[in-house]
Structure 1
């Protein structure tokens, strides 16, 4: 089985970076924490299915996670997980939702009952069906031979209760708990006897999807109306998260816990690239890291092997 490893979503990384550089009493902090909580729940739900996917037979199957692709109409669509095989492809739409989940078909929506409250959501079956059509058209554009594309909605929260409207047969067929993934896929693939794609074509399809993946790089400071001037500068202590560390000769020292680090500045520079600007100057990074020496800052930046342009004071580095 060939698998693209699941990474922490850029949204989660960005929100964590923002919260790490805002005062604890910042007015917008509760909203950001709530947004991060939702993003983390979604990510944990997607991670949860990886355990169950590991029980699939170790045959030539490509498993790709967290794809964001652009269709022929310049619309982006996201796929949580897709299994590519020579006989069929399978899209998994993952929902990490607790409580009682009722799939209604008139109107077609998902109703969640939790703590005596009801909330209605867009039906994930409609969403994953749209993804199927978009993926089908996308692969056709690259002359990949057409294979059947199937869909499943996977509820990753182990304690959720799934219920269906009496005549919503489609939901009963394609909505499952994460633990049922191996058995469900075993039943799905049974009728598919003929291989449509060669191994070369299968690998090509996977390469095309990965190459055309476009992560959403959203400006979350603008989204939460946070001026860049409100972002706290400095280097976090990797051990106690105190801000800022102090620069000594060749290392960083935390004044709070006395932990020392030679490369704690790397995480701070990454925060800068996420939140402030992906293009930096010596002066800008000196101010952000609380450094005094132009020479020492140049040495730190050169150690990262960054692409650069310009000379002397006009030099910029690309993160």
Structure 2
């Protein structure tokens, strides 16, 4: 059962919005675009993994959770995918490299070999997986759960993978091999029954906390004044929708709608700052009427804090659904 589906990462959503709103001649545009492509490629690789793991449908109780953020011992750690069976838990790390990857031993080194022959050392994923195993063991131990935890490293692209000395502790494979790997795992000891797996999956969901670095303009050293305001048309992707006759109107393609400002509000929180006043809403949507702005803000799923001059809006915290899905 899949208890947590993968959704578009917060960083990727923010980079998409920032790329749209940052002028092409901005000195940070190249860096934003570069990181956007890297983040998009990483997400695509994880989606490919998700397609393959869907083939894993054993007849025993199990749980699969994608993209978990947990905190333990004062540290945050992210798990690409977690597979819980009655006798073990597996942390899956997914990489999406289109270049050749060489894995050396003694000491362990990961080297990316680009098509032009350039070689570049990359961070050792085994170390990161070991860190996550350690933190997850402590997280479970504080809840009285003792169960073996393994880790596997997967590559989404079927590019050339040269492993000089395979690691006996950490399995490395392509994502299409993952279903076969999990089907081959023996379930010798039932440490967790179906009820315990259900409770554990829901406890993980309850403690999952989406990690973000908002507002992202600060992260890139971008002056908020450089971020272009305006409502973006969801059809033609152009800035400059105008409010008139109780709806937003795109002068470029003719699209109209009543809720197009909501993405603009989300962009503000992701890019600029974690609160918004009526005046800031009017500036960022390029809307002149204060009363219209108040009405639109009231229907935007925001929480109003304070009164009069101190009034501002913040995002409401979203609840999590504990229901497993097929």
- CA gap 1:272/1:169 in 2 versus in 1, 3 angstroms: closer
Moved more, 54-63 or 85-94: 54-63
Question: Which residue of 233, 248, 257 maps to 2:253?
Answer: 257
| 1:90-119 C-alpha deviation (Å, 9 max, x unpaired) | 111111012221111122111111211111
| 1:228-249 C-alpha deviation (Å, 9 max, x unpaired) | 1111111001111111111111
Map of 2:83 onto structure 1: 83
Map of 2:212 onto structure 1: 217
Tell me the SS of whatever aligns to 1:147.
Answer: coil
Figure out how many residues of one structure are paired with residues of the other and give that number: 312
Would you say the 8 A contact 1:103–1:123 is kept in 2? no
Would you say the 8 A contact 2:216–2:270 is kept in 1? no
Tell me the SS of whatever aligns to 2:80.
Answer: strand
Mapping of 1:82-161 within 5 angstroms?
82-115=82-115, 116-143=117-144, 145-158=145-158, 160-161=159-160
Mapping of 1:7-18 within 5 angstroms?
7-18=7-18
Residues of 1 paired with 2:242 and 2:123: CA distance? 50
Would you say the 8 A contact 2:62–2:194 is kept in 1? no
Tell me the SS of whatever aligns to 2:150.
Answer: strand
Mapping of 1:36-75 within 5 angstroms?
36-59=36-59, 60-72=61-73, 74-75=74-75
Residues of 2 paired with 1:291 and 1:169: CA distance? 59
Structure 1 unmatched ranges of 5 or more: none
Moved more, 205-214 or 149-158: 205-214
| Structure with higher RCO (Cα < 8 A, 6+ apart) | 2
Map of 1:266 onto structure 2: 262
Question: Which residue of 174, 177, 182 maps to 2:179?
Answer: 182
Structure 1 position 305, deviation (Å): 4.0
Structure 1 position 151, deviation (Å): 1.2
Q: TM-score if structure 2 supplies the norm length?
A: 0.91
Q: TM-score if structure 1 supplies the norm length?
A: 0.93
Question: Which residue of 192, 195, 202 maps to 1:197?
Answer: 192
Structure 1 position 216, deviation (Å): 2.3
Structure 1 position 12, deviation (Å): 0.3
CA RMSD of aligned residues (A): 1.6
Structure 2 unmatched ranges of 5 or more: 316-326
Structure 1 position 58, deviation (Å): 4.7
Would you say the 8 A contact 2:63–2:84 is kept in 1? yes
